[in-house]
Amino acid sequence: MSYKEIREDKEIAELIKKGDEILGALGYTDHSQEHCLLVAEHASDILKQLGYKKKEIELVKIAAYMHDIGNAINRNQHAEYGALLANDILKNYDISIKDRITIVSAIANHDESTGGASDLISAALIIADKTDVRRNRVRKKPKASFDVHDRVNYAVTKTDLIINKEKKYITLDLEIDEKICTMYEYFEIFLGRMMMCRKAAELLGMTFKLVVNGNKAL
């Protein structure tokens, strides 16, 4: 089984599409295939830069691409629903039981309300997912209707995830327009996610840092 096969799986693609449609109707930011592809790219880059093996990089890409399929069932407990869906889908592929369960577990534990990093696959997935903060995640609608999640994402004009293996730092470097979103609002929304990233980074033997407008914030 390969990441390429998972990318071409029509059932997974439809689950991602339907989940994003539901979240759009509920007022959530973008959770489309673009988000899933970016998370897969960043998660694999984390493990690649830290020197992990090709197999581990492939597993994290698969888990990351599939991590939000549970939104097609319900936003509440979407991580757990996604894990159950993934478990059934992956049984159709040539994958060991151990690797399938590793992927399923990472998906089940990626949400900050119920999960947390327990191994390197889940750790990389969590960091990649929770650091996907960007202006174009906000859906097209009048700015007057923006909620705090929209304002926080829209205020981010630049995002850079930096992995420094030598100094053992993973840094989320953001530029935020504080006329759109205050730092208080950012931390109100993202503090739990950033703390989740900190614990995930520690599991990888790294320290997580948040830099906003050139200043260390975490």
Instruction: CATH number of the domain at 17, please.
Output: 1.10.3210
pLDDT score of 210: 95
Report pLDDT digits (tens) over 25-46: 998 999 999 999 999 999 999 9
Whether 156 and 94 have beta carbons less than 8 Å apart is answered as no
Order of all β-strands in the sheet with 207-212:
156-164, 169-176, 207-212, 215-216
Question: Model pTM?
Answer: 0.94
**Mean pLDDT, the chain, as a whole number?**
95
How far apart CA 101 and CA 110 sit, in angstroms, is 14
Angle between helices 120-130 and 97-108 (to 10 degrees): 40
- Single out the residue of 122, 118, 120, 152 nearest to residue 138, CA to CA: 152
Q: Higher pLDDT residue, 80 or 183?
A: 80
Quote the number of domains for the chain. 1
Kindly indicate the confidence band of residue 57, based on its pLDDT and cuts at 50, 70 and 90.
Answer: very high
| Cβ proximity of 173 and 160 under 8 Å | yes
What's the pLDDT at 9?
A: 97
Mapping DSSP onto H, E and C, the string for 47-103 reads HHHCCCCHHHHHHHHHHHHHCCHHHHCCCCCHHHHHHHHHHHHHCCCCCCHHHHHHH
Cβ 108 vs Cβ 119: under 8 Å: no
Q: What is the pLDDT of residue 200?
A: 98
Residue 47's DSSP bridge partners are none
**Dihedrals φ, ψ of 54, to 5°?**
-55, -40
Is residue 142 predicted with pLDDT exceeding 90?
Answer: no
Tens of pLDDT, residues 74-89: 999 999 999 999 999 9
Range of the domain at 67: 3-216
